[in-house]
Protein backbone atom coordinates (compact mmCIF):
# COMPACT_ATOMS: atom_id res chain seq x y z
CA UNK A 1 0.00 0.00 0.00
CA UNK A 2 1.50 3.34 -1.12
CA UNK A 3 0.81 6.83 0.49
CA UNK A 4 1.40 10.00 -1.56
CA UNK A 5 2.16 13.16 0.56
CA UNK A 6 3.61 15.59 -1.98
CA UNK A 7 0.43 17.38 -2.94
CA UNK A 8 -0.35 18.26 0.68
CA UNK A 9 3.04 19.86 1.21
CA UNK A 10 2.68 21.88 -1.96
CA UNK A 11 -0.69 23.20 -0.89
CA UNK A 12 0.64 24.25 2.51
CA UNK A 13 3.49 26.16 0.94
CA UNK A 14 1.05 27.94 -1.40
CA UNK A 15 -1.21 28.92 1.51
CA UNK A 16 1.69 30.31 3.56
CA UNK A 17 2.88 32.43 0.58
CA UNK A 18 -0.56 33.98 0.04
CA UNK A 19 -0.94 34.91 3.73
CA UNK A 20 2.41 36.64 3.80
CA UNK A 21 1.57 38.67 0.71
CA UNK A 22 -1.69 39.84 2.31
CA UNK A 23 0.13 41.00 5.42
CA UNK A 24 2.71 42.90 3.35
CA UNK A 25 -0.04 44.49 1.27
CA UNK A 26 -1.92 45.58 4.39
CA UNK A 27 1.20 47.11 5.86
CA UNK A 28 1.91 48.91 2.58
CA UNK A 29 -1.64 50.29 2.48
CA UNK A 30 -1.32 51.49 6.04
CA UNK A 31 1.91 53.24 5.13
CA UNK A 32 0.23 54.91 2.19
CA UNK A 33 -2.70 56.05 4.35
CA UNK A 34 -0.32 57.31 7.02
CA UNK A 35 1.74 59.23 4.47
CA UNK A 36 -1.37 60.79 2.92
CA UNK A 37 -2.82 61.63 6.34
CA UNK A 38 0.48 63.16 7.44
CA UNK A 39 0.72 65.22 4.23
CA UNK A 40 -2.86 66.44 4.64
CA UNK A 41 -2.23 67.27 8.28
CA UNK A 42 0.95 69.18 7.45
CA UNK A 43 -0.85 71.00 4.58
CA UNK A 44 -3.74 71.90 6.89
CA UNK A 45 -1.36 73.18 9.55
CA UNK A 46 0.54 75.29 7.00
CA UNK A 47 -2.67 76.74 5.62
CA UNK A 48 -3.88 77.49 9.12
CA UNK A 49 -0.57 79.23 9.83
CA UNK A 50 -0.89 81.29 6.66
CA UNK A 51 -4.51 82.18 7.54
CA UNK A 52 -3.59 83.23 11.08
CA UNK A 53 -0.74 85.36 9.72
CA UNK A 54 -3.13 87.01 7.24
CA UNK A 55 -5.66 87.67 10.02
CA UNK A 56 -2.97 89.19 12.23
CA UNK A 57 -1.77 91.33 9.33
CA UNK A 58 -5.33 92.49 8.59
CA UNK A 59 -5.94 93.33 12.24
CA UNK A 60 -2.69 95.26 12.31
CA UNK A 61 -3.68 97.12 9.13
CA UNK A 62 -7.10 97.92 10.64
CA UNK A 63 -5.43 99.26 13.77
CA UNK A 64 -3.04 101.37 11.70
CA UNK A 65 -5.89 102.61 9.49
CA UNK A 66 -8.00 103.56 12.51
CA UNK A 67 -5.03 105.33 14.04
CA UNK A 68 -4.87 107.73 11.07
CA UNK A 69 -6.24 111.12 12.09
CA UNK A 70 -6.36 114.14 9.80
CA UNK A 71 -7.45 117.72 10.49
CA UNK A 72 -8.36 119.87 7.50
CA UNK A 73 -7.16 123.42 8.18
CA UNK A 74 -8.17 124.96 4.85
CA UNK A 75 -9.48 123.82 1.47
CA UNK A 76 -10.55 125.33 -1.82
CA UNK A 77 -11.66 124.00 -5.18
CA UNK A 78 -11.77 126.11 -8.35
CA UNK A 79 -11.72 126.01 -12.15
CA UNK A 80 -8.34 127.35 -13.27
CA UNK A 81 -8.85 126.83 -17.01
CA UNK A 82 -11.19 125.03 -19.38
CA UNK A 83 -11.13 121.29 -18.56
CA UNK A 84 -8.95 121.88 -15.48
CA UNK A 85 -9.89 121.85 -11.79
CA UNK A 86 -7.52 122.82 -8.97
CA UNK A 87 -7.85 121.37 -5.48
CA UNK A 88 -5.88 123.14 -2.74
CA UNK A 89 -5.81 121.98 0.87
CA UNK A 90 -3.84 122.55 4.07
CA UNK A 91 -3.85 119.30 6.07
CA UNK A 92 -2.45 118.39 9.50
CA UNK A 93 -1.67 114.80 10.52
CA UNK A 94 -2.91 114.69 14.11
CA UNK A 95 -2.25 110.96 14.55
CA UNK A 96 0.90 109.18 15.78
CA UNK A 97 1.83 107.42 12.51
CA UNK A 98 2.86 108.74 9.12
CA UNK A 99 0.14 109.09 6.47
CA UNK A 100 0.70 108.66 2.75
CA UNK A 101 -1.77 110.14 0.29
CA UNK A 102 -1.80 108.10 -2.92
CA UNK A 103 -4.85 109.34 -4.88
CA UNK A 104 -6.97 112.48 -5.20
CA UNK A 105 -10.44 112.50 -6.74
CA UNK A 106 -12.84 115.27 -7.71
CA UNK A 107 -16.49 115.06 -8.76
CA UNK A 108 -17.88 118.10 -10.62
CA UNK A 109 -21.54 118.74 -11.43
CA UNK A 110 -24.23 121.32 -12.06
CA UNK A 111 -27.95 120.98 -12.75
CA UNK A 112 -27.47 119.39 -16.18
CA UNK A 113 -23.97 117.86 -16.25
CA UNK A 114 -21.49 115.84 -14.19
CA UNK A 115 -18.00 114.38 -14.58
CA UNK A 116 -15.08 113.24 -12.44
CA UNK A 117 -11.39 112.33 -12.55
CA UNK A 118 -8.49 111.34 -10.30
CA UNK A 119 -4.77 111.95 -9.95
CA UNK A 120 -1.98 109.83 -8.45
CA UNK A 121 -0.11 111.27 -5.44
CA UNK A 122 3.09 110.47 -3.55
CA UNK A 123 2.70 112.68 -0.49
CA UNK A 124 3.74 111.50 2.98
CA UNK A 125 2.99 113.45 6.17
CA UNK A 126 4.63 112.54 9.47
CA UNK A 127 2.64 112.49 12.70
CA UNK A 128 1.99 116.05 13.89
CA UNK A 129 3.21 117.66 10.65
CA UNK A 130 1.18 119.72 8.16
CA UNK A 131 1.34 119.74 4.40
CA UNK A 132 -0.04 121.86 1.59
CA UNK A 133 -1.62 120.11 -1.38
CA UNK A 134 -2.07 121.91 -4.68
CA UNK A 135 -3.42 119.49 -7.26
CA UNK A 136 -4.63 120.25 -10.78
CA UNK A 137 -6.76 117.57 -12.43
CA UNK A 138 -8.24 117.38 -15.90
CA UNK A 139 -12.04 117.18 -15.91
CA UNK A 140 -13.39 117.29 -19.45
CA UNK A 141 -16.32 119.65 -19.92
CA UNK A 142 -15.48 122.14 -17.16
CA UNK A 143 -15.25 125.77 -18.30
CA UNK A 144 -14.11 128.93 -16.56
CA UNK A 145 -17.41 130.78 -16.98
CA UNK A 146 -19.48 128.00 -15.39
CA UNK A 147 -20.58 127.37 -11.83
CA UNK A 148 -20.28 123.92 -10.37
CA UNK A 149 -20.69 121.87 -7.26
CA UNK A 150 -17.31 120.21 -6.57
CA UNK A 151 -16.68 117.30 -4.23
CA UNK A 152 -12.99 116.40 -3.88
CA UNK A 153 -11.51 113.74 -1.61
CA UNK A 154 -8.18 112.03 -0.87
CA UNK A 155 -7.29 108.34 -0.48
CA UNK A 156 -4.50 107.18 1.87
CA UNK A 157 -2.25 104.16 1.38
CA UNK A 158 -4.11 102.40 4.23
CA UNK A 159 -7.44 102.89 2.47
CA UNK A 160 -8.92 105.83 4.38
CA UNK A 161 -11.03 108.36 2.47
CA UNK A 162 -10.51 112.02 3.44
CA UNK A 163 -13.43 114.08 2.10
CA UNK A 164 -13.01 117.82 1.77
CA UNK A 165 -15.94 119.87 3.12
CA UNK A 166 -18.67 120.92 0.69
CA UNK A 167 -18.35 124.64 1.32
CA UNK A 168 -14.75 124.56 0.20
CA UNK A 169 -15.65 122.36 -2.71
CA UNK A 170 -17.66 124.96 -4.62
CA UNK A 171 -16.70 127.69 -7.02
CA UNK A 172 -16.54 131.23 -5.65
CA UNK A 173 -20.07 132.15 -6.76
CA UNK A 174 -21.61 129.15 -5.06
CA UNK A 175 -19.62 129.70 -1.88
CA UNK A 176 -21.31 133.10 -1.72
CA UNK A 177 -24.65 131.43 -2.45
CA UNK A 178 -24.20 129.26 0.62
CA UNK A 179 -23.61 132.33 2.81
CA UNK A 180 -26.72 134.08 1.49
CA UNK A 181 -29.05 131.14 2.15
CA UNK A 182 -30.05 132.62 5.51
CA UNK A 183 -31.49 135.76 3.90
CA UNK A 184 -32.32 134.79 0.34
CA UNK A 185 -30.94 134.19 -3.11
CA UNK A 186 -29.75 137.76 -3.81
CA UNK A 187 -26.37 139.09 -2.70
CA UNK A 188 -25.31 142.74 -2.68
CA UNK A 189 -21.87 144.08 -3.61
CA UNK A 190 -21.15 146.21 -0.53
CA UNK A 191 -18.03 147.70 -2.12
CA UNK A 192 -19.91 149.14 -5.09
CA UNK A 193 -22.78 151.06 -3.47
CA UNK A 194 -23.23 154.61 -4.84
CA UNK A 195 -25.71 157.49 -4.90
CA UNK A 196 -26.49 160.26 -7.40
CA UNK A 197 -27.94 163.71 -7.18
CA UNK A 198 -30.83 163.87 -9.65
CA UNK A 199 -31.47 166.82 -11.93
CA UNK A 200 -34.91 166.49 -13.46
CA UNK A 201 -34.81 162.85 -14.58
CA UNK A 202 -31.04 162.62 -15.09
CA UNK A 203 -28.49 161.09 -12.74
CA UNK A 204 -25.62 163.54 -12.22
CA UNK A 205 -22.07 162.22 -12.61
CA UNK A 206 -23.37 159.06 -14.25
CA UNK A 207 -22.32 156.26 -14.12
CA UNK A 208 -19.65 156.61 -11.41
CA UNK A 209 -21.73 158.57 -8.84
CA UNK A 210 -20.42 158.98 -5.28
CA UNK A 211 -20.04 156.52 -2.35
CA UNK A 212 -23.50 155.79 -0.98
CA UNK A 213 -22.49 155.65 2.68
CA UNK A 214 -22.13 159.44 2.93
CA UNK A 215 -24.85 161.38 1.12
CA UNK A 216 -24.90 165.16 0.53
CA UNK A 217 -28.27 165.96 -0.97
CA UNK A 218 -28.38 169.77 -0.58
CA UNK A 219 -32.17 169.41 -0.62
CA UNK A 220 -32.15 167.75 -4.05
CA UNK A 221 -33.65 164.51 -5.24
CA UNK A 222 -31.23 161.61 -5.03
CA UNK A 223 -31.01 158.06 -6.34
CA UNK A 224 -29.12 154.92 -5.26
CA UNK A 225 -27.44 152.24 -7.36
CA UNK A 226 -27.00 148.75 -5.93
CA UNK A 227 -25.22 145.83 -7.62
CA UNK A 228 -27.22 142.64 -7.02
CA UNK A 229 -26.18 139.11 -7.98
CA UNK A 230 -28.67 136.28 -8.29
CA UNK A 231 -27.15 133.22 -6.58
CA UNK A 232 -30.19 130.97 -6.56
CA UNK A 233 -28.85 127.37 -6.16
CA UNK A 234 -31.42 126.23 -8.75
CA UNK A 235 -30.10 128.88 -11.19
CA UNK A 236 -33.52 130.43 -11.80
CA UNK A 237 -33.90 134.02 -13.01
CA UNK A 238 -35.31 136.60 -10.57
CA UNK A 239 -37.67 139.37 -11.73
CA UNK A 240 -38.23 142.51 -9.62
CA UNK A 241 -41.58 144.33 -9.59
CA UNK A 242 -42.16 148.07 -9.25
CA UNK A 243 -43.06 147.63 -5.56
CA UNK A 244 -39.41 146.85 -4.74
CA UNK A 245 -38.17 149.66 -2.52
CA UNK A 246 -35.07 151.05 -0.81
CA UNK A 247 -36.06 152.81 2.42
CA UNK A 248 -34.37 154.49 5.36
CA UNK A 249 -35.36 154.90 8.99
CA UNK A 250 -34.35 158.01 10.91
CA UNK A 251 -34.60 157.79 14.72
CA UNK A 252 -35.57 161.44 15.22
CA UNK A 253 -37.15 161.03 18.67
CA UNK A 254 -37.15 158.20 21.27
CA UNK A 255 -40.84 157.50 20.60
CA UNK A 256 -41.02 157.89 16.83
CA UNK A 257 -39.05 157.12 13.71
CA UNK A 258 -39.23 158.75 10.31
CA UNK A 259 -38.39 157.36 6.91
CA UNK A 260 -37.80 158.13 3.25
CA UNK A 261 -38.53 155.81 0.32
CA UNK A 262 -36.86 155.26 -3.03
CA UNK A 263 -38.67 152.80 -5.33
CA UNK A 264 -37.06 150.88 -8.16
CA UNK A 265 -36.69 152.61 -11.56
CA UNK A 266 -35.31 151.96 -15.03
CA UNK A 267 -32.22 153.92 -16.12
CA UNK A 268 -30.88 154.04 -19.69
CA UNK A 269 -27.24 154.03 -20.81
CA UNK A 270 -26.99 157.83 -20.51
CA UNK A 271 -28.29 158.01 -16.95
CA UNK A 272 -31.85 159.13 -17.75
CA UNK A 273 -34.61 157.70 -15.54
CA UNK A 274 -37.65 156.36 -17.41
CA UNK A 275 -41.04 157.79 -16.46
CA UNK A 276 -42.49 154.26 -16.71
CA UNK A 277 -41.24 150.98 -15.29
CA UNK A 278 -40.42 147.64 -16.91
CA UNK A 279 -39.68 144.69 -14.64
CA UNK A 280 -35.96 144.19 -14.02
CA UNK A 281 -34.71 140.62 -14.55
CA UNK A 282 -31.63 139.29 -12.78
CA UNK A 283 -30.08 136.27 -14.58
CA UNK A 284 -28.25 133.70 -12.52
CA UNK A 285 -24.76 134.76 -11.41
CA UNK A 286 -24.71 138.00 -13.43
CA UNK A 287 -23.99 141.14 -11.34
CA UNK A 288 -26.71 143.63 -12.29
CA UNK A 289 -27.04 147.34 -11.48
CA UNK A 290 -30.42 148.16 -9.94
CA UNK A 291 -31.53 151.78 -9.38
CA UNK A 292 -33.89 153.28 -6.78
CA UNK A 293 -35.12 156.87 -7.23
CA UNK A 294 -38.95 157.22 -7.21
CA UNK A 295 -40.98 158.36 -4.19
CA UNK A 296 -43.68 155.80 -5.04
CA UNK A 297 -44.10 152.54 -6.93
CA UNK A 298 -44.32 153.40 -10.64
CA UNK A 299 -47.56 152.14 -12.21
CA UNK A 300 -49.17 152.73 -15.63
CA UNK A 301 -51.10 155.78 -14.33
CA UNK A 302 -48.48 156.85 -11.82
CA UNK A 303 -45.22 157.92 -13.51
CA UNK A 304 -41.86 158.54 -11.91
CA UNK A 305 -41.48 161.34 -9.37
CA UNK A 306 -38.12 161.98 -7.70
CA UNK A 307 -37.48 161.45 -4.01
CA UNK A 308 -35.32 163.47 -1.63
CA UNK A 309 -34.23 162.73 1.95
CA UNK A 310 -36.74 164.13 4.42
CA UNK A 311 -34.34 163.98 7.35
CA UNK A 312 -30.61 164.12 8.00
CA UNK A 313 -28.31 162.13 10.19
CA UNK A 314 -27.49 158.47 10.58
CA UNK A 315 -30.02 156.05 9.14
CA UNK A 316 -30.12 152.27 8.79
CA UNK A 317 -31.53 151.32 5.39
CA UNK A 318 -33.33 148.26 4.09
CA UNK A 319 -33.89 146.81 0.68
CA UNK A 320 -37.33 145.20 0.29
CA UNK A 321 -37.51 143.28 -2.99
CA UNK A 322 -40.68 141.80 -4.48
CA UNK A 323 -41.10 139.77 -7.68
CA UNK A 324 -40.76 136.22 -8.95
CA UNK A 325 -38.05 133.56 -8.94
CA UNK A 326 -38.57 131.29 -11.90
CA UNK A 327 -42.35 130.79 -11.92
CA UNK A 328 -42.77 131.26 -8.15
CA UNK A 329 -43.42 134.39 -6.06
CA UNK A 330 -40.29 135.93 -4.57
CA UNK A 331 -39.59 138.33 -1.74
CA UNK A 332 -36.39 139.25 0.06
CA UNK A 333 -35.40 141.88 2.59
CA UNK A 334 -31.73 142.81 2.87
CA UNK A 335 -30.71 144.72 6.01
CA UNK A 336 -27.47 145.79 4.45
CA UNK A 337 -25.94 149.20 5.30
CA UNK A 338 -26.21 152.36 7.33
CA UNK A 339 -25.80 155.75 5.70
CA UNK A 340 -25.10 159.29 6.83
CA UNK A 341 -27.22 161.97 5.11
CA UNK A 342 -26.05 165.56 5.34
CA UNK A 343 -28.04 168.62 4.37
Among positive and negative, which fits the CA dihedral 27, 33, 35, 37?
Answer: negative
Range of the domain at 113: 70-174
- pLDDT above 70: percentage of residues in the chain: 83
259 — phi, psi (to 5°)?
A: -145, 165
Residues 162, 203 within the same domain: no
Residues 196, 219 within the same domain: yes
Radius of gyration of the chain (CA): 42
Residues 186, 334 within the same domain: yes
Per-residue pLDDT band for 2 (boundaries 50, 70, 90) equals low
Residues 208, 331 within the same domain: yes
Please write the tens of the pLDDT for every residue from 46-69: 787 787 777 777 666 666 667 778
Q: What is the pLDDT of residue 224?
A: 94
Helix ranges (DSSP H) in the chain: 6-67, 172-179
Contact 271, 212 (CB under 8 A): no
d(CA 143, CA 313): 48
d(CA 248, CA 313): 11
Per-residue pLDDT band for 181 (boundaries 50, 70, 90) equals very low
Mean pLDDT throughout 159-167? 70
d(CA 150, CA 231): 16
Mean pLDDT score of the chain, rounded to an integer?
Answer: 81
Tell me if 23 is assigned to some domain. Answer: no
Q: Where residue 91 sits, what CATH number does that domain have?
A: 2.60.40.10
Distances (CA, A) of 193 to 118, 189, 190, 262, 291: 43, 7, 6, 15, 11
Residues 168, 139 within the same domain: yes
Q: How many helices (H) and strands (E) does the chain have?
A: 2, 19
Any idea what DSSP says for residue 120? E
Other beta carbons within 10 angstroms of residue 192's beta carbon come to 14
Q: What is the pLDDT of residue 255?
A: 65
What is residue 271's three-state secondary structure?
coil
Contact 194, 208 (CB under 8 A): yes
Residues 111, 199 within the same domain: no
CA dihedral 139, 140, 144, 146 (to 10 degrees): -100
Q: Where residue 308 sits, what CATH number does that domain have?
A: 2.60.40
Q: What is the pLDDT of residue 175?
A: 44
Residues 334, 186 within the same domain: yes
Mean pLDDT throughout 16-35? 70
Is 334 or 306 the better-scoring residue by pLDDT? Answer: 306
Q: For the chain, how many structural domains are there in total?
A: 2
Residue 176 has pLDDT above 60, yes or no: no
End-to-end CA distance of the chain: 171
Tell me if 82 is assigned to some domain. Answer: yes
d(CA 184, CA 331): 8
Tell me if 140 is assigned to some domain. Answer: yes
Helix ranges (DSSP H) in 68-118: none
Is 175 or 131 the better-scoring residue by pLDDT? Answer: 131
Q: Which of 174, 207, 230 is the last residue of a domain?
A: 174
**Closest by Cα among 314, 307, 177 to 245:** 307
Residues 336, 271 within the same domain: yes
Please write the tens of the pLDDT for every residue from 223-275: 999 999 888 877 789 999 999 999 888 766 666 667 789 999 999 999 999 99
Mean pLDDT throughout 93-122? 85
Which residues does 104 contact at the CB level (< 8 Å), separation at least 6? 87, 118, 119, 121, 133, 135, 137, 152, 153, 154, 155
Amino acid sequence: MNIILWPRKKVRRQMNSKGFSSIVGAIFMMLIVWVLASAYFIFTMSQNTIYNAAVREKHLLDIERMSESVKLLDANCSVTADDNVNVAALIQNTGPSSIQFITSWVYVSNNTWANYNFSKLTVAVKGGDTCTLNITMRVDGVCTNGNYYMAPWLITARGNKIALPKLAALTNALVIAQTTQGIGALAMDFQDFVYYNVTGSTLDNFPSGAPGYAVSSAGNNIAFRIILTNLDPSERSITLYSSSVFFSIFPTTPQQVRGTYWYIVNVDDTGVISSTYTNVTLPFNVPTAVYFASNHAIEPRSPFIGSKPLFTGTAPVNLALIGTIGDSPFGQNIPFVSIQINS
